[in-house]
């Protein structure tokens, strides 16, 4: 089976006519007909019913059409990617970012890195830590930026980037504006907005149990953007990593959580083999110097 045969087959499907398909693919009708005949011989049956008004797919044709169309599109995408790579001389760099890592602290770094190296094409994949580690294991990512709550698997290496404190976020009209120190006991009197993607959620739950504090979750969301929008609207307060607060923080105020002082460490995690890639090595060195 040749790609040209598939291309001619799809053209006939789309044009419902051998004549119009030949015109659309800039080939003579006998050549197109012969290519379709070879494809039919290979697949073991006729693909089209020829009629006076045109043609329509047979049962076999309807069966194979979705798969052949998918094959054609995939091959076209691969060709386009290869051409773009060779013409632009770009180097793809695939970086996974854990869902709760805010763009605010890292995006200026990536912007500077890419500007200094216009041949590098950055692809940023945002997902949960488990999925990112799996993709890193399968070599679909070059490195990931994460705040792991358990030891990094032994076949990976890690580079500490920065530490981030947790803050209490509230509306700029909230009574917390008058307070200098806010602890968990103070928060429990307020509607609490629960971040479902928070990697320290279980740690916070354990601390609350030890201190006999009940944080009533008025709302829950796996979206940081929605949590912040609800805080702006005055629906409740939330606990978030400090760099998740945007600048300017329109209608938002925050205080560092006083008791307990909760922090997380953000790391770059990568396989040992990644350092053999010059571009990844450059990125790691820049990260080491930047943070």
Of 69, 85, 101, which closes a domain?
Answer: 85
**Cα–Cα distance measured from residue 276 to residue 156, given in angstroms and rounded to the nearest whole number:** 14
Of 18, 52, 85, which closes a domain?
Answer: 85
Token digits of residue 145: 């930026």
Return the CATH number at 21: 1.10.10.10
Same domain flag for 7 and 25: yes
**Cα–Cα distance measured from residue 124 to residue 135, given in angstroms and rounded to the nearest whole number:** 13
Token digits of residue 4: 């040209």
pTM score of the predicted model = 0.65
Same domain flag for 271 and 226: no
Return the CATH number at 282: 3.40.190.10
Same domain flag for 9 and 69: yes
Same domain flag for 254 and 233: yes
Same domain flag for 77 and 96: no
Return the CATH number at 238: 3.40.190.290
Same domain flag for 108 and 250: no
**Cα–Cα distance measured from residue 117 to residue 199, given in angstroms and rounded to the nearest whole number:** 33
**101 contact partners, CB below 8 Å, separation of at least 6:** 145, 146, 147, 266
Which parts of the chain fold into alpha helices (H)? 3-15, 18-24, 29-43, 59-88, 103-116, 129-137, 184-187, 201-210, 224-232, 278-290
Same domain flag for 208 and 260: yes
Same domain flag for 28 and 147: no
Give the structural domain span for 228. 163-264
**20 contact partners, CB below 8 Å, separation of at least 6:** none
Same domain flag for 286 and 255: no
Task: Walk along the chain (291 residues) and give the pLDDT tens digit of each residue.
Answer: 889 999 999 999 998 999 889 998 888 999 999 999 999 999 999 999 988 778 999 999 999 999 999 998 888 888 877 766 665 556 788 999 999 998 888 999 998 988 888 888 888 999 988 899 999 998 889 999 999 888 888 889 999 999 999 999 999 999 999 999 999 989 998 999 999 888 888 888 888 888 888 888 889 998 888 999 999 999 999 999 999 998 888 899 999 998 888 899 999 999 988 878 888 889 999 999 988
Q: Are 220 and 265 in contact (CB under 8 A)?
A: no
Same domain flag for 131 and 249: no
Same domain flag for 146 and 273: yes
Give, to the nearest 10 degrees, the angle between helix 29-43 and helix 3-15.
Answer: 110
Same domain flag for 242 and 275: no
Of 58, 85, 112, which closes a domain?
Answer: 85
- How many domains are contained in the chain? 3
């Amino acid at each position: 089976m040749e790609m040209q045969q598939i291309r001619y087959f799809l053209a006939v499907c789309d044009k419902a006519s051998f004549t119009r398909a030949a015109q659309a693919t800039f080939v003579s009708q006998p050549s197109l007909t012969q290519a379709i005949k070879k494809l039919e011989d290979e697949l073991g049956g006729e693909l089209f019913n020829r009629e006076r008004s045109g043609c329509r797919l047979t049962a076999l044709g309807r069966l194979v059409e979705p798969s052949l169309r998918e094959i054609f599109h995939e091959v076209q995408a691969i060709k386009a990617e290869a051409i773009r790579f060779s013409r632009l001389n770009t180097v793809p760099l695939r970086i996974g970012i854990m869902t709760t890592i805010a763009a605010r602290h890292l995006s200026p770094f990536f912007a500077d890195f890419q500007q200094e190296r216009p041949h590098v094409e950055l692809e940023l994949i945002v997902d949960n830590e488990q999925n990112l580690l799996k993709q890193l294991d399968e070599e679909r990512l070059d490195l990931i930026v994460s705040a792991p709550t358990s030891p990094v698997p032994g076949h990976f290496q890690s580079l500490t980037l920065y530490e981030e404190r947790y803050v209490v976020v509230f509306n700029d009209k909230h009574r917390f504006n008058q307070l200098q120190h806010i602890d968990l006991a103070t928060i429990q009197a307020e509607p609490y907005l629960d971040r479902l993607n928070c990697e320290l959620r279980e740690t916070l739950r354990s601390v609350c149990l030890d201190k006999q504090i009940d944080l009533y979750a008025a709302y829950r969301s796996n979206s940081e953007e929605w949590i912040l929008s609800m805080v702006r609207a005055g629906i409740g307060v939330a606990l978030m990593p400090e760099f998740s607060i945007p600048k300017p923080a329109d209608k938002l105020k925050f205080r560092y959580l006083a008791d307990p002082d909760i922090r997380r460490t953000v790391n770059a995690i990568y396989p040992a083999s990644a350092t053999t890639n010059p571009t990844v090595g450059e990125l790691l060195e820049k990260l080491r110097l930047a943070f």
